[in-house]
Structure 1
Amino acid sequence: MFDSTTPKNRQIAIVLAFASMATPIAGFHKFYLGQPGWGLVYLLLSWTPIPHIAAAIEAVWYLTQDDTHFGTNSNSLLPDRAIGQSPHLANALLRTHPVATISESIRELDKLRADGLISEYEFEQKRRQWLDRA
């Protein structure tokens, strides 16, 4: 539905989160942000008020973030984004400097986790992806 490789726009995420809050079906913003698992959870729970309340909270959260913070939170969680926009560039860098690139990427992820921008689960998932590439 939405392309997970393009940078996400904060205003679109806000509108979709408010739409998820106001319509009978919730989770539009999760699909847009490249989180289809959470989008599916929101859809399955749409008959309850839980995803609508969560969407309202997230809409306010997105409103309070500046574009840089939002971009760091929603756009740099893809493993290839940590070292460039192109998967080919990422693979080339990993072939030439695998340990340095992976360790630097894990350090950046750890900073995001320490700042509360990603959860412990997201950190561990991305860390494993980077280590599996080595």
Structure 2
Amino acid sequence: MAKVQGDDEKNKRIIAALALLGAIQPTPIPVAGIHKFYGGQYGWGLLYLLLGFTQVPRVASLVEGVWYLVEPQVEKKFWAAKTTGVEASTADTLGNTVEAVASSLREIERLRQEGLLSEHEFEQKRRRLLEQMP
């Protein structure tokens, strides 16, 4: 089944709700850790159930529930900060970056052939340029 855009956000909300339910635990049956089963982390879910007689799973569920509710806002702020950086570095597309590196490689090769760069300097600059490749 193909994921529809927004499914991931919906799943995070459900996991957050289940985690908070496990933290509150209104029933005598320990439900702390049910969010781990829903998220596909069966080992962690089992551990939460085994430790159900302690307060550890409830506290962990509370922390995880809050985290899943806050995480989308944190991600949005992170990506907004990344895209508002220096326009030249963020606005370059993959093709422009590759083209710029290729042009620079051709230029340092020309300088090496003209004797303006030593083999060692050429190799250092070439490696630095290739490290910039995405």
Q: Per the shorter chain, which TM-score range? A: 0.3 to 0.5
Please say which structure displays the higher CA radius of gyration. 2
Provide TM-score, normalisation by structure 2: 0.43
